[in-house]
Amino acid sequence: MAEKETTHFTNTGEVLLEVKNLKKYFPIEQGFMHKKIGEVKAVDDVSIYINRNETLGLVGESGCGKTTLGRCIMRAVESTSGEILFHLDAKKPPVNILGLDKKELLDIRRNMAIIFQNPYSSLDPRMTILDIVGEPLYLNGYSRDQITDRVKELMSMVGLESKFLNRYPHAFSGGQRQRIGIARALALKPRFIVSDEAVSALDVSVQAQILNLLQDLKETMQPTFLFIAHDLSVIEHVSDRVGVMYVGRLMELAPTEEIYLKPRHPYTEALLSAIPRPEPGPKKDRILLPGEVANAADLPPGCCFHPRCRYCQDRCKTEVPPWQEVSFGHYVSCHRADDLELQGVIER
Ligand SMILES: Nc1ncnc2c1ncn2[C@@H]1O[C@H](COP(=O)(O)OP(=O)(O)OP(=O)(O)O)[C@@H](O)[C@H]1O
Ligand code: SF4
Ligand SMILES: [Mg+2]
């Protein structure tokens, strides 16, 4: 399959993180000799940048590689190839996270944090809130008194009373537990946070509270977010720009309002058509995609979305569409990006 060239983006902001041609292929092995019989292309040649203080939303169906991309950036999993450049100090050259040794990685990780999906399984039930939230501080040499003071401060920031410091996670509701997870992620004042489905496991009303909390923290602490979710309404609410993934590849990337009102990729159009809109006015039909999500171990030739695309033409079945900028800061991988009039969410 033809490989895309390294992507050059037009950008007016100041970049914090750049992902260049990132690939993560998981081997498929068979038998006790672990013979490699194939590979799952979980992330396949993805290039993105995230500016300082920006929230980049990442959306796509289950299994499209969102978590793997986030884990590669955190180096929780080793990438197959590519570069992840962290521009920690704007005056110095960026650091390639994939080239760091253990010690260098530990140093840079202080600037990065992750908020997980499941607030029930991500908190150790045998640790108190003080220990859970304070652990990153402890690992970075803070004294007991410093840890207690900072944990109290963090609890107040996420809307929890510090009198709960010595309680265990089971004493808290799902929303409160997610606040604890957020407090832990913020402990070392990270510059970059991956939020992986942080509100997906919560009730809708609690979701709104946590999203508002994240927005408030964004204003006060100004971290940069990679916000992963499969819910397009949630993504719209929090993101400055949005990337749409399908079986390990980026299909479209654009500023939020533009992608929601004027999508340029048929897959984005189909995802948008499924958002329930309570507002009065004309309703549009949901686009039901035929067939299954493509198999990341055996991708269709040409455009990987072609077996499900209602606009597919012959060349889509053989030629990989190039990644092209169709308007300022709006990128898409579709042969027909210029001739299709796709429908976004109805203008409000
Ligand atoms: N450790 C692993 N070993 C083998 N395959 C893996 C591993 N982790 C992920 N995969 C595969 O990589 C692909 C991408 O998975 P990933 O979890 O990144 O998707 P996702 O978009 O986060 O999905 P979801 O929305 O369900 O969380 C899937 O096909 C998955 O089965
Ligand atoms: S390249 Fe062809 S098959 Fe792929 S999304 Fe565009 S129109 Fe559909
Ligand atoms: Mg995931």
Amino acid at 160: L
The pTM of the full predicted model, rounded to 2 decimals, is: 0.92
Q: Are 270 and 334 in contact (CB under 8 A)?
A: no
Residue whose token pair is 């509100």 = 199
Spatial separation of the C-alpha atoms in residues 129 and 31, rounded to whole Å: 44
DSSP secondary structure string for all residues of 70-90: HHHHHTSS--SEEEEEE--ST
Mutating to test ligand 2, I would choose from 246, 306, 324 the residue with most ligand atoms within 8 A of its C-beta, which is: 306
Q: What are phi and psi of 327, to 5 degrees?
A: -155, 175
Is residue 23 in contact with ligand 1, taking CB distance under 6 Å? no
Q: Is the CATH code 3.40.50.1580 the one for domain 15-111+190-332?
A: no
Atom of ligand 1 nearest to the CA of 70: 18
Across the chain, the runs of DSSP E, i.e. the strands, are 15-30, 35-51, 55-59, 81-86, 95-96, 112-115, 192-196, 224-228, 241-246, 249-255, 324-327, 330-332
What is the C-alpha to C-alpha distance for residues 242 and 218, in angstroms, rounded to an integer?
17
**Residue 165, helix vs strand vs coil:** coil
**What local confidence, expressed as pLDDT, does residue 8 receive?**
55
Please state the length of the chain.
348
- Segment 313-340, tens digit of pLDDT: 999 999 999 999 999 999 999 999 999 9
DSSP 3-state of 45: strand
Closest residue by Cα to residue 334 from 343, 324, 344: 324
* pLDDT tens-digit map of 238-265: 999 999 999 999 999 999 999 999 999 9
Tokens describing residue 130: 């003080």
For residues 266 and 309, is the Cβ–Cβ distance under 8 A? yes
Cβ partners under 8 Å of residue 181, min gap 6: 115, 116, 119, 122, 123, 198
Report CA-CA distances (Å) from 171 to 153, 162, 164, 183: 20, 14, 9, 17
Interstrand relation of 81-86 and 15-30 (parallel, antiparallel or unpaired)? antiparallel
Is any ligand 1 atom within 6 A of the Cβ of residue 70? no
In short, whether 307's Cβ falls inside 6 Å of ligand 1 is: no
* Euclidean distance between CA atoms 87 and 109, whole angstroms: 13
pLDDT recorded at residue 1: 42
Ligand 1 atom closest to Cα of residue 230:
25
pLDDT tens for the chain, residues 1 to 348: 444 444 556 666 799 999 999 999 999 999 888 898 999 999 999 999 999 999 999 999 999 999 999 999 999 999 999 999 999 988 899 999 999 999 999 999 999 999 988 777 889 999 999 999 999 999 999 999 999 999 999 999 999 999 999 999 999 999 999 999 999 999 999 999 999 999 888 888 889 999 999 999 988 988 999 999 999 999 999 999 999 999 999 999 999 999 999 999 999 999 999 988 766 666 667 899 999 999 999 999 999 999 999 999 999 999 999 999 999 999 999 999 999 999 999 664
Residue of 246, 247, 267, 316 best suited for mutating to test ligand 2, as the one with most atoms within 8 Å of CB: 316
Q: Tell me the domain boundaries of the chain.
A: 15-111+190-332, 129-189
pLDDT at residue 285, rounded to an integer: 78
Instruction: Say if strands 330-332 and 324-327 run parallel, antiparallel, or are unpaired.
Output: antiparallel
Half-sphere exposure of 18 (CA within 13 A, CB side): 19
What pLDDT was estimated at residue 120?
76
Cα angle: 191, vertex 177, 148; to 5 degrees: 65
* H or E stretch covering 28: strand 15-30
Q: Give the pLDDT of residue 347.
A: 62
Residue 4: the pLDDT is: 45
Where does ligand 2 bind, in terms of residues with CB under 6 Å? 265-266, 303, 305-306, 309, 311-312, 316, 321, 334-336
Give me the DSSP letters along 148-159: HHHHHHHHHHTT
C-alpha of residue 73 to centroid of ligand 2, in Å: 29
Nearest ligand 1 atom, CA 248? 14
**Distance between Cα 164 and ligand 3 center (Å):** 31
Q: What is the identity of the amino acid at 295? A: N
